[in-house]
Amino acid sequence: MSGARDGEACYRLRGVVRVVSPTFELRIGELDVPRGQVFALLGPTGSGKSTLLRMLAGLESPTAGQLLAGGQPLYDGGNSALGRAATLVFQRPLPIRGSVRTNVEYGLRVRRERDSARRVNQVLAGLRLDRIAAQSAGSLSGGQLQLVALARALVVHPEVLLLDEPSAHLDPAHVALVEEAVLADQRERGTTVIWATHNLFQARRVADHVALVLDGQVIENGPKPAFFDDPRDARTRDFIAGKMVY
């Protein structure tokens, strides 16, 4: 992905279909994800945001269609480079056995990266996890686990950071902490961030670009001002107005 040309979309999806179950499929006609921006995938629970993120992370392949990452097909029989360029923070993070620190340094260890202690300490401090760094990850609350999951993703300095409701189990102060940490990292390193959220207000706060996902389809997407101030689709207008559109 790092070899992609400037101005090129980070991801380009054309006619992508992913059959999830006999009753649900993700179907995206056309979608470009701009590079180096925060792209919010807005939509209710069960709309297909997580499925889309797993495909973009290279963890699940589309049933049909073309998915390009940095101009290259994402599924060409195993694109291992992408696996290390994009990192997905799952909605329900699963820790490995060991301490918070062990979990946070995992990605650096498997990549055999140097200078890991300094980076781990920085990320731990940034997310206020330094005080519980020695604590067993198995003893953490759901909210603390989400912070650890974000920390272990940020520490590997991904080119693309995929976030699946990363603040769903957090109180407002920690939501602010997460948003601050992700946006600071994005500004500093120019990371492409794709942030799935059902929270309209969060999308307004963090995004440069917004897409509305309803019932497995991208209804509308565009730069934040246009999306919120001048939506083209009636369902987008209703969603923004807080009406039930699903």
Partner 1 sequence: MRDWADITIRSLLVSGSATILAALIGIPAGAWLGLMGRGVRLWVRPVVFSLMAMPPVVMGLALYLLLSHSGPLGRLEWLYSVRAMILAQTLLALPFVIGVTMQGIAAVPGELAQQLRSLGANAAQVRWAILREAYPAMGLAVAAALGRSLSEVGAVLMVGGSIAGSTDVLTTAIYQETRSGNFGIALALGAILLVLAWSANLAVAVWQREPAT
Residues in touch with partner 1 (CB under 8 A): 54, 57, 59, 80, 83-84, 86-88, 90, 92-94, 96-99, 101, 106-107, 110-111, 134, 136, 138, 149, 152-153, 156, 162
Beta carbon of residue 185, minimum distance to partner 1 (angstroms, whole number): 16
Q: Which is nearer to partner 1, 59 or 64 (by Cβ)?
A: 59
Between CA 112 and CA 120 the distance in angstroms is 14
Considering the complex, state which of residue 87 and residue 202 has its C-beta at the smaller distance from partner 1: 87
**Residue 52 CB, nearest approach to partner 1 (Å):** 14
Residue closer to partner 1 (CB basis): 15 or 83: 83
Contacts of residues 216-221 at CB distance under 8 Å and 24 or more positions apart, as own/partner, are 216/20, 216/24, 216/25, 216/26, 216/27, 216/47, 216/48, 217/26, 217/27, 217/28, 217/29, 217/48, 218/28, 218/29, 218/31, 221/31
To partner 1, the closest distance from the beta carbon of 165 in angstroms equals: 15
Quote the least distance from Cβ 237 to partner 1, whole Å.
35
- Closer Cβ to partner 1, 164 or 220, answer by number: 164
The distance of closest approach from Cβ of residue 225 to partner 1 in the complex, given in angstroms and rounded to an integer, is 32
CA distances from 202 to 143, 161, 205, 217, 242 (A): 17, 17, 5, 21, 14
Contact 11, 32 (CB under 8 A): yes
Q: Give the Cα separation of 117 and 74 in Å (integer).
A: 32
Let me know if 20 is exposed, middle or buried by CB neighbors in 10 A (0-12, 13-18, 19+).
middle
Nearer of residues 13 and 88 to partner 1, judged by Cβ: 88
Instruction: Please state the closest distance from residue 109 (CB atom) to partner 1, in A.
Output: 9
CB of 81 vs partner 1, minimal distance in Å: 11
What's the burial of 27, exposed, middle or buried (CB within 10 Å: 0-12/13-18/19+)? middle
Q: Rank residues 155 and 240 by Cβ distance to partner 1 and give the closer one.
A: 155
Taking the least distance from each CB to partner 1, the nearer of 135 and 217 is 135
Spatial contact of 200 and 181, defined as CB atoms under 8 Å apart: no
